[in-house]
Amino acid sequence: MNEPTAMRSEIGQQPAALRATLDALTPRGGEAAALARDCRQVLFIARGTSDNAAVYGSYLLQAHAGMLATLASPSIATEYHSRMDLSGVLAVALSQSGATEEIVETLAWARDCGARTLAITNGGGSPLTQVADVAFVTAAGAELAVPATKTFTTQLAALAVLAIALGADLDPGLLRGVPDEIERMLAGPDDTAAIVDAMTGAAGVVVSGRGHAYAAALELALKLKEACYLHAMGLSWADLLHGPIAVVDAATPAIIVAADSGPALPGSIELARRVVAAGARAYAIGGGPGLAAVSSLAVPGPQLPEWLAPLGLIVPGQLLTEALSRRLGIDPDSPRGLSKVTQTA
């Protein structure tokens, strides 16, 4: 495949998409704050890539706004048809298209149970926006590749705007600098090539992170499943150490995703040491010189604080996935068995 794939082109469009999204949503923080006044909890409703983004939102709100946040089980609404008191809850539904019926139905259910509702979607005028009290429409533009890239990072940006609006003690000026940092990363050399070479014969992979970086680890694992057909497990390293680490061996490497600072970094470094000591390979994305020093191969992460690092950490993962997919003879734009909008019951 000589022409750039749509996935690779869309990875490169992320700085512009993030700037446009922040320009559109930052002035609307007051709407979200007014909507959530007196709310004590946030309930995130999502599937797939959007669910991984919601994990990031959950960490932001709990670590920086002191607000309880949980991920919904949509089947409670769509299959079990349970009723519950959701007064005092802000229900936030995330969907790239805004057209996934399960997510639309679950947000409507939350509204009917007394929740206030907010949608985050790239689909302006979509069914999801019609259900929500407030809609944050991202400005990712059209995304042609089935594996989501720019719609994921713009969702993370929207969640950061939401967290700040809900009282998170975070500097919005740093958020505005994220597009420039991703642009810098994309303009540099492709540091993922050596990992792509090493992973060509892998039977599977474990992708691990913790804290804010956990969302990026989950999303990278999903991308490797979608576009490379790898058996990829996304796990917090705390969960990994409780037993599943047994699957990491000479044929199954670990990719460890970490911010360059923060309370989760020492454990990430220790995990890499343990993986290498067991005769397996540990590939680092981010984590600074400390993680690189104990890993088999390493890719530098973004120069961003921990709370913003996932927006940059996922970019090398996207590049790795796209290149590995092509190396394996797969078209990353159209993986088998997938479509852009997934409908679930």
Asked if the domains 6-183 and 190-327 are classified in one and the same CATH topology, the answer is yes
Q: Which amino acid is at 82?
A: S
Instruction: Tell me how far apart the alpha carbons of residues 173 and 99 are, in angstroms, rounded to a whole number.
Output: 33
Q: Which two tokens stand for residue 76?
A: 């409670």
| 223 is annotated as an active-site residue | no
**pLDDT above 70 as % of the chain:** 96
Predicted confidence at residue 236, as pLDDT, reads 82
Taking 50 as the threshold, does the pLDDT of residue 94 lie above it?
Answer: yes
Which is the CATH superfamily of the domain at 6-183? Answer: Glucose-6-phosphate isomerase like protein; domain 1 (3.40.50.10490)
pLDDT at residue 243, rounded to an integer: 63
- Decide if 223 contacts 317 (C-beta within 8 A): yes
Percent of the chain whose pLDDT exceeds 90: 88
Q: Average pLDDT of 138-164?
A: 97
Superfamily of domain 190-327: Glucose-6-phosphate isomerase like protein; domain 1 (3.40.50.10490)
- Residue 212 pLDDT exceeds 80: yes
Q: Which of 150, 223, 225, 340 is catalytic?
A: 340
How does residue 203 score in pLDDT terms, banded at 50, 70 and 90? confident
Q: Give the domain ranges of the chain.
A: 6-183, 190-327
Averaged pLDDT score across all residues of the chain = 94
Q: Which residue has the higher pLDDT, 1 or 246?
A: 246
* Predicted pLDDT of residue 244: 60
Q: How confident is the model at residue 1 (pLDDT cuts 50, 70, 90)?
A: very low
* Tens-digit pLDDT profile for residues 259-294: 999 999 999 999 999 999 889 999 999 999 999 999
| 252 CB-side CA count, 13 A | 16
pTM: 0.95
Phi, psi of 25 (to 5 degrees): -100, -30
Least confident residue range of 3-12, 34-43, 190-199, 331-340: 331-340
The string of pLDDT tens digits covering residues 52-65 is 999 999 999 999 99
